[in-house]
Amino acid sequence: MAQDDRRRRGKGLRADARENRERILAAAKDVFAELGVDAPMVEVARRAGVGIATLFRRFPDKEALIAEAFAAKMTAYADAMEAALADPDPGRGFEGFILRVAEMQSEDRGFTRALTMGFTAATLFGAERQRAFEGFQELIRRAKAAGVLREDFVPQDLGLLLVANAGVIGALGDAAPDAWRRVVAYLLQSFRPGGASPLPPPPEEGLLGEVMANLQRRNRAAGQRKGRGS
DSSP collapsed to 3 states, 108-135: CCCHHHHHHCCCCCCHHHHHHHHHHHHH
Provide the Cα torsion 103, 23, 63, 168; round to 10°.
30
pLDDT in tens, 211-227: 666 665 665 665 566 55
Domain that residue 160 falls in? 71-217
Q: Is residue 116 pLDDT above 50, yes or no?
A: yes
Query: Do 37 and 97 share a domain, yes or no?
Result: no
Find the angle CA(223)-CA(68)-CA(74) to the nearest 5 degrees.
85
Domain-embedded: residue 45:
yes
How far is residue 56's CA from residue 133's CA, in Å, rounded to a whole number? 31
CATH code: domain of residue 40: 1.10.10.60
pLDDT in tens, 24-45: 999 999 998 888 788 899 999 9
pTM of the complete model: 0.75
User: Among 157, 160, 101, 92, which residue's Cα sits nearest to residue 129?
Assistant: 101
How far is residue 25's CA from residue 134's CA, in Å, rounded to a whole number? 29
**Residue 199 neighbours by CB distance under 10 Å:** 12
Domain boundary among 51, 69, 87: 69
CATH code: domain of residue 202: 1.10.357
Domain boundary among 69, 92, 116: 69
CA distances from 127 to 73, 82, 97, 120 (A): 13, 14, 19, 11
How far is residue 68's CA from residue 138's CA, in Å, rounded to a whole number? 27
State the helix-helix crossing angle for 179-191 and 156-172, rounded to 10 degrees: 160
**Residue 85 neighbours by CB distance under 10 Å:** 16
Query: Do 93 and 169 share a domain, yes or no?
Result: yes
Q: Report the mean per-residue pLDDT for the chain.
A: 83
Domain-embedded: residue 137:
yes
Query: Do 152 and 92 share a domain, yes or no?
Result: yes
How far is residue 8's CA from residue 82's CA, in Å, rounded to a whole number? 26
How far is residue 175's CA from residue 75's CA, in Å, rounded to a whole number? 30
> Residues near 208 by Cβ (< 8 Å), separated by ≥ 6?
116, 156, 159, 160, 162, 163
Query: Do 15 and 100 share a domain, yes or no?
Result: no
pLDDT in tens, 152-182: 999 989 988 988 998 898 888 788 889 999 9
- Would you say how long the chain is, in residues? 230
Query: Do 23 and 59 share a domain, yes or no?
Result: yes
**Window from 105-109, 189-193, 207-211 with minimum mean pLDDT:** 207-211
